[in-house]
Structures are given as structure tokens and as C-alpha cells.
Structure 1
Amino acid sequence: MTVDTLVAAFVLAPAALLRPTFGAYDYAKLQDAFGSALVEYWRSGTPVFPARLTTLVDYWFQWHAIKVAISALSVIVFALLTTALWRRYLRARPWYAAAATAAAVSTVLATGALMANIQATAVPLVALLGLLPGTTTDGKLTQVLSEMHEGLTESAGPHAGSPALTVLLGEIERYHWVMVAISATLMVATGLASAHFWKRRITGDPGATRVKFMHSTLGVITALTACLLLLLAGGSALSALEPATTLLDVIGAG
């Protein structure tokens, strides 16, 4: 399986696989459908999703679940490619080091895509909020977003106790705690991997220059990845602890 095939599958497969069940959604249609469904949900006065919103949440869940599978396969392919290229570097021409480093970085990027899609699959409603259009064709979304803003900023206002708002805040918290769990777990794993590579570099054969270079490169990549994951875990934790502020940022209502 080539990298081009994986990229094409990542971009095209979800829509193609879901079309028989949900019909064709382009970006604009999905935006408009979600904006209208959110208006209906907000004005329903209940925490239960209306049928249109349930359909969209199911669609987005399956969309990202398909991407989880493709992303996981991509991580495996890039990891195997990285291993193969480093082995060739150790046995053949030096230029394989650049290709092996690029493959290692690609593995990290594929892992990032996997993380994001796991998070979106776990809490698809919050992932859908990123698609909010500026308005809907009937103009009702602007009013709803204004009411949501009021409910988030005015504790004594008429919208502060909205059942829909309570659900959204809970989903925001869950969405970001999922990322905390994922990033913290991977941070520990990459931190241990980095320590292993540096240890192998130090204790290895002093004359094995290529082996030392390989371990140094992988040690740097995994250490930097662990630092990025630490920042991501911290940022996600802050977002989870302040769901109202996070939701305000997402809806962009002010």
C-alpha cells in the first residue's frame, strides 16, 4: 500500500463509504445542516437531540471512525518504512538517513492525525461545532449563538440554565479530557522511547558512527514529540477545566 493510496483514502473514503447511508454531504451542505440542527436543538428546550442533529452526530462519528482506521494504518506503514530505511542507512548509502528521518517525522504527523480523529470519534458533537457557519439561510443561527453567549456569560440570564447548554458544556469537557488521556499516555511512551535511544547512543559501540547518529536522531524526534504532547495535554486540561470559556471561543459569539 503506497503513501498516495493512504492519503487518497483519508480524504475520499469517508464520504464515499457513508454516501449510501446518509447521502452526499459537501462541506457547505454539512455546515448548513448542522447550523439548522443546532437551532432546532437549542429551541427544543430539552437535552435530547432532535432527529436531524442525531443523524449528523452519527454521520460525524462514522466519518471520523473511518479516519481512525486509516490513520492507524498510516502510523503502522510509516513506522515500518522508518525501520526499513534506518536499516538500509546502517547497511548501505548515507543518503538513506534523510529519508529515514522524514519517515520518522511522518510517523509523528500520522499519529497526530490519529489522535485528533480518536478525539472527534469519542465526542462528535463538539467536533461538529468546528463546522458552524456564520449564519444559516434563514438567519436564525445568529440569534441562537447570541443567546448561547448570553447563557455562558450571564449567570442570572434567561438562557443560563438551558438544557442544551448544559449538554454542550459537558461534551466540551469530555472532548478535551479525551485528548488529555491520549496525549498524556503517548507523552509517557515517547519520553521512555527517547530515554531508550539516548541510552543506546551512550552505551553503544563508540566506533559505530551511523548507529550513534540514528539513535541521536530518533532521540531528538521522540523528545520533541514528548514536549509537544506535554503542551497539548496541558492546553487540553485547561480547556476542559474552563468549558464555558472554551465554548465561547468555539461558537465565536460575542
Structure 2
Amino acid sequence: MSSNALGPSSSLRARVLVALVVVLVPGVYFGPHLLADDGSQSGFSDQRALVGAVEEGFVRYWAAGSGDYSSGMGGVVEYWFRFHVAKALIALALLGVLVALGVVVWRAFLRSEGVRRGGLAVAGVCVTGVGLLSLVVAAANVQGAVAPFTSALTMLPVGARGGELGGTLEQVRAQLAADPDGASPSPSPALAEMISDNARYHVSMVVIAGVVAVGLAVVSVVLWRRFAGAGDRRARRLLGAFGGIGTVLVMAVLVVGVANVTVAADSARGLTEFFGV
């Protein structure tokens, strides 16, 4: 970016924002494990060790039958909660920085010409794309923080056969097959907690999707209003493109919300499908 496209203050702001992005992008991947580790879950930063702990913890949880997390599963759930909180916060910070950087880049694009304009367009598209990815990561991790037990269960190799885990999974399938709709007045406490937490997991995404949809709708309305009042052709094209993207995203987020309403309303059925009954 040259001084022709960016003024001195904007150029400094862009450099600071780019530096923050350089720090936060790897931070989204590496930071959560470091921040979630309280010293009591040695090795959880290794994915295979974490999956192994989930498998062992779930076997203990099911064998206990009380619906309370066993010491093994409890440690995994606590770690996974902290992991999701950390990742959501870092992703939200990255999103905020990318929004600010995107404003700087696209404003510079409107003032630039020639090759510089093309470079700014590419930079703007990259910033926008990574920003949308950050939003998805933040939403998914807020959901995981609300229901870390269900989130951890997604790491289970549900197709496992044999051994303690295979036997446990067969027992889970047998109970779900006997009561696929969760209509039994007295399901086992362990299964009842799984059904309840699975519902919480999907209800949280309904709320998240609603908040995101409202936010995107507000931004889209603002963009379309500016589009209607813009006199510059390039500005109109840019505002119209972002307004259209925002509108499409609102509809996509609403579809996600509706899908999660359906699963939350029949949580037992969702678990039945997950465990392959």
C-alpha cells in the first residue's frame, strides 16, 4: 500500500492492524491449548492424548451410571470448556481487528488506481474471507463452551468395535434403540444427562445464530442505504457487493438456526443418529 492510497495515519493504523493479525491468526490455533492447560491435564495439547482421555473418561462416565462426570470425564470437560472460551475470545479479537483492517483496506481501494487498486482488492477479499472464518470459529466455540460435554463427545470414535469403549458404545446404542425418542419417564441418569446436554448444545447455536443474523441484517441494511445514496460508481459496486453478501449470509445463518431448533427439539433422536443406532 502506498501513500497515494493511504494517508499517514491510515498507513500506521494498517501496519498496527496487520501486526495484530499476524499475532492473532496463529494464536487462534496455538493459544487455546496453552490457556486451557492448568497443569492438571498433562498432554491434552496433543490431539491423540485428548481423544484417548475422552474415550477413557466416557467409559468411566457410563459405567458409573449416575449422570455425574467421573474424575476422568470431569477433567476433560473442564479442560474443553476453558479451551472453547479461550478460542472464542481470541477469534472474536481477531474478528474485531479484521473488521477494522477491512475498513482501512476497502477505503484505500476506493481511492486507488491501476495495479495498486488490484492489490488492494485482493487484500480486501482475503481480509473479508478470514474475517468470516473468524466469525464461524467464534460461534462454534461459544457453542462448545456452553455445552463442553457434548462437544467433547464429538471426538468419540463411535464406530469403534471391541474393548471397553466398544462395549460401552453398544450399551448406549441399546438404550437409544429401546427409547429412540427419549420418551421413557425414567431413562438412565447417564443417558438423560447426555440428552439434556445435547439439547443445550443445539439451543445455544439457535441463540448464537439469532444474534449473528440480527447483527448481519443491521449491517446489510446500513450498506444498502449507503448504496442507495452513493454517487460514485465504484463505491456503489462495493457497497452493493457487501450488501448482497450480507443478505445471503443472513439467510444462511437462519438456516443453521432452524436446523439446530429441529435437533434441540428431539435431542434423543439426534444422539441416536450420532451413535449410529
TM-score (norm: length of structure 1):
0.90
1:83-115 deviations in whole A, cap 9, x for unaligned?
A: 001110122233223322332232221111000
- 1:176–1:237 contact (8 Å) kept in structure 2: yes
Q: Secondary structure in 2 aligned to 1:89?
A: helix
Aligned equivalents of 2:170 and 2:154: distance in 1? 17
Code of the aligned partner of 2:169: L
In the other structure, the counterpart of 1:11 is 29
Q: How does 1:81-160 map to 2 (within 5 A)?
A: 81-93=101-113, 94-95=117-118, 96-134=120-158, 139-155=163-179
In the other structure, the counterpart of 1:40 is 60
Query: Cα–Cα, structure 1 residues 42 and 128, in superposed 2: closer, same or farther, change >3 Å?
Result: same
* Percent identity over paired residues: 24
Q: Residue 198 in 1 paired to residue 224 in 2?
A: yes
Q: Secondary structure in 2 aligned to 1:239?
A: helix
What's the offset of the Cα at 1:184?
A: 1.1
Please, which runs of 5 or more residues in structure 1 have no aligned partner? none
1:30-78 deviations in whole A, cap 9, x for unaligned?
A: 1121111111111112121111111110000111111011101110111
Please, which runs of 5 or more residues in structure 2 have no aligned partner? 1-18
Deviating more after overlay: 77-86 vs 1-10: 1-10
How many residue pairs were aligned?
Answer: 249
- 2:43–2:50 contact (8 Å) kept in structure 1: no
Q: How does 1:170-209 map to 2 (within 5 A)?
A: 170-205=196-231, 208-209=232-233
- 1:101–1:217 contact (8 Å) kept in structure 2: no
Query: Cα–Cα, structure 1 residues 175 and 162, in superposed 2: closer, same or farther, change >3 Å?
Result: same
Aligned equivalents of 1:166 and 1:31: distance in 2? 23
1:174-212 deviations in whole A, cap 9, x for unaligned?
A: 00000000111111221222122122212322xx01210
Aligned equivalents of 2:57 and 2:160: distance in 1? 10
Query: Cα–Cα, structure 1 residues 136 and 101, in superposed 2: closer, same or farther, change >3 Å?
Result: closer
- After superposition, the CA RMSD in angstroms is 2.1
Q: Secondary structure in 2 aligned to 1:47?
A: coil
What's the offset of the Cα at 1:135?
A: 7.4
Query: Cα–Cα, structure 1 residues 135 and 104, in superposed 2: closer, same or farther, change >3 Å?
Result: closer
Code of the aligned partner of 1:23: S
Code of the aligned partner of 1:185: V
- 1:132–1:251 contact (8 Å) kept in structure 2: no
What's the offset of the Cα at 1:223?
A: 1.2
- 1:108–1:225 contact (8 Å) kept in structure 2: no
Which of structure 1's runs of 4+ aligned residues deviate more than 4 A? 134-138
Query: Cα–Cα, structure 1 residues 10 and 66, in superposed 2: closer, same or farther, change >3 Å?
Result: same
Aligned equivalents of 2:260 and 2:160: distance in 1? 30
Aligned equivalents of 2:177 and 2:227: distance in 1? 54
Q: Secondary structure in 2 aligned to 1:133?
A: coil
Aligned equivalents of 2:137 and 2:204: distance in 1? 15
What's the offset of the Cα at 1:134?
A: 4.9
In the other structure, the counterpart of 1:166 is 192
- The one of 20, 43, 46 equivalent to 2:39 is 20
Aligned equivalents of 1:219 and 1:29: distance in 2? 45
Q: Residue 71 in 1 paired to residue 91 in 2?
A: yes
Deviating more after overlay: 98-107 vs 61-70: 98-107
What's the offset of the Cα at 1:20?
A: 3.0
